[in-house]
């Protein structure tokens, strides 16, 4: 076992792997569940981006809950391959985020762009999930790299440019929060890739999870404002 991982804790006969990592991962899930709760209360919202952002938080909440417990806490009882549930949910959530962001600005785009971008988002999702399952047989780390690459492509290749366009070209202030969140997302990525850790009780997994909870909070604040009728581009 990797010495930097949290020590296993026993509660009676129950074996709890990576307890701090489990809880910090679940912290991200709680933020996502909270975001979904507030979006669910906006039942009269007519923004075309609203249902996509709502589903973004729902599927990420499910994925992070799975990642916390099946991917970490219950690893003594389930196969490591169960991690793919969280990864597949993450890819699906990113696709919802891409489509929702496109809906905010699509009236200002050409017919070609409005037609091609949704097709690309679907293709990207199919390719990412398919590669995750394909590389799973070669090892967890290999499959996880697909998740990382897909996240960079989705967030920095598409979501960020769409919100930059919305902020600078369409003068919607709410997109600024999303832009800040996306720029900030580099920090948890650097922490994870460099394995920056304080101790095995608060390692790079734990630190990056706490930073990701902040990221999802910022995303909620920005996306929630963007679906308000007075703040949309529609």
Tens of pLDDT, residue by residue over 96-105, are 999 999 999 9
- Whether 232 maps to a domain, the answer reads no
pTM above 0.75, yes or no: yes
Say how far apart CA 223 and CA 100 lie, in whole Å. Answer: 9
What's the average model confidence in pLDDT over 85-89?
97
Can you give the residue range of the structural domain that contains 137?
Answer: 9-226
What's the average model confidence in pLDDT over 15-32?
98
CATH number at 57 reads 1.20.1070
- Whether 233 maps to a domain, the answer reads no
Q: How many domains does the chain have?
A: 1
HSE-CB at 158 with a 13 A cutoff on CA atoms is 21
Instruction: Please give the pLDDT value at position 1.
Output: 57
Say how far apart CA 129 and CA 198 lie, in whole Å. Answer: 33
Q: pLDDT tens across 33-80, in order?
A: 999 999 999 888 889 999 999 999 999 999 999 999 999 999 999 999
- Whether 2 maps to a domain, the answer reads no
Instruction: Please give the pLDDT value at position 231.
Output: 45
- Whether 4 maps to a domain, the answer reads no
């Amino acid at each position: 076992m990797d010495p930097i991982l949290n020590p296993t804790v026993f509660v009676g006969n129950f074996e709890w792997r990576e307890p701090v990592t489990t809880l910090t991962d679940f912290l991200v899930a709680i933020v996502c569940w909270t975001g979904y709760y507030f979006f669910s209360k906006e039942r009269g919202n007519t923004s075309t981006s609203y249902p996509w952002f709502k589903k973004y938080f729902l599927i990420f909440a499910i994925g992070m809950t799975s990642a916390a417990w099946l991917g970490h806490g219950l690893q003594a009882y389930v196969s490591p391959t169960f991690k793919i549930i969280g990864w597949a949910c993450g890819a699906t959530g990113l696709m919802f985020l891409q489509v929702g962001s496109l809906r905010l600005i699509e009236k200002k785009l050409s017919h070609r762009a409005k037609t091609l971008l949704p097709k690309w988002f679907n293709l990207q999702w199919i390719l990412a999930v398919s590669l995750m399952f394909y590389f799973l047989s070669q090892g967890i780390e290999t499959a996880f790299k697909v998740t990382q690459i897909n996240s960079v492509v989705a967030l920095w290749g598409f979501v960020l440019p769409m919100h930059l366009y919305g902020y600078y070209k369409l003068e919607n202030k709410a997109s600024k929060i999303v832009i800040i969140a996306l720029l900030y997302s580099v920090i948890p990525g650097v922490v994870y890739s460099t394995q920056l850790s304080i101790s095995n009780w608060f390692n790079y997994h734990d630190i990056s999870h706490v930073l990701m909870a902040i990221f999802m909070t910022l995303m909620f604040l920005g996306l929630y404002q963007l679906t308000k009728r007075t703040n949309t581009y529609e």
